[in-house]
Amino acid sequence: MGHGFSTLLYKEVLRFWKVASQTVAAPVLTALLYLLIFSHVLEGHVKIHGVAYTSFLIPGLVMMSVLQNAFANSSSSLIQSKVTGNIVFVLLPPISYLEFFAAYVLAAVVRGVVVGTGVLLATCWFAPLGFVAPLWIIVFALMGGAILGSLGVIAGIWAEKFDQLAAFQNFLIMPLTFLSGVFYSINSLPPFWQQVSHWNPVFYMIDGFRHGFFGVSDASPWHSLAVVATCLALLTAFTLNLLKRGYKLRA
């Protein structure tokens, strides 16, 4: 990875940082509102794995923010560059497809982690958190961010207009992140929906991430790690192949 890669990474980070009120502050506020509303309604009524509901909810919200913002970063940057035409600035230089991929995905992870940290700092006052196994927290945050960053690259390359990107987001990313146990333990679901959730990779990201806080989870963290790592490997291979072929970027 050369200076071209680090410049592209720097530019992608600078891009969201320059509009941090939209790209960082707004999602932190949204997560805070979720916390206030759901914990107000459910605190005291529900305990999950012996953890009070608000405590349980916080890691879910943090991880959901990591994932959604990682996706938003790479996808919106690419679609904006394509629609405005300034994508040529990164297509003309000698940047390899590997560097291109790594820069967009890493910047997405940075955005996800920055927003996730913001959400954690804004919400951790509301309930006790364990931080039992910080390594799991870090591993799942980074890998989850990379998976959604990679999906964002795919969506940003595939979509030709903003509404196509919105469709990708509304019909794939949102259902996957919401139906993944952010707000509940899937053990509280009817058996059918439990089965469905086990096919949702985002469930494993959130479950593994939460394990790092409380040391308890629906699935074993090793199992979750295997699922998440496999997803990341497959998506990386798929995205690299798209980029190598110049799919929709080089006519």
For another protein, the binding residues (CB under 8 A) are 2-4, 6-8, 10-11, 14-15, 18-19, 81, 84-86, 88-96, 246, 250-251
Q: How far is the CB of 94 from another protein (least distance, A)?
A: 4
Nearest approach, Cβ of residue 65 and another protein (Å): 22
Find where tokens 């707000």 sit: 183
Q: Which one, 5 or 56, has the nearer CB to another protein?
A: 5
Shortest distance, CB of residue 3 to another protein, whole angstroms? 5
Instruction: Identify the CA nearest to 215 among candidates 128, 138, 135, 132.
Output: 132
State the minimum distance, in angstroms, from the CB of residue 185 to another protein.
Answer: 41
Phi-psi region of 162 (alpha: psi -120 to 50; beta: other; left: phi over 0): alpha
Q: Which is nearer to another protein, 111 or 211 (CB)?
A: 111
* Helices 97-123 + 26-42 axis angle, to 10: 50
Beta partners for residue 51, in sequence order: 48
CB nearer another protein, residue 97 or residue 158: 97
Other beta carbons less than 10 A from residue 29's beta carbon: 14
The whole-angstrom separation of Cα 165 and Cα 144 is 20
Q: Which is nearer to another protein, 161 or 244 (CB)?
A: 244
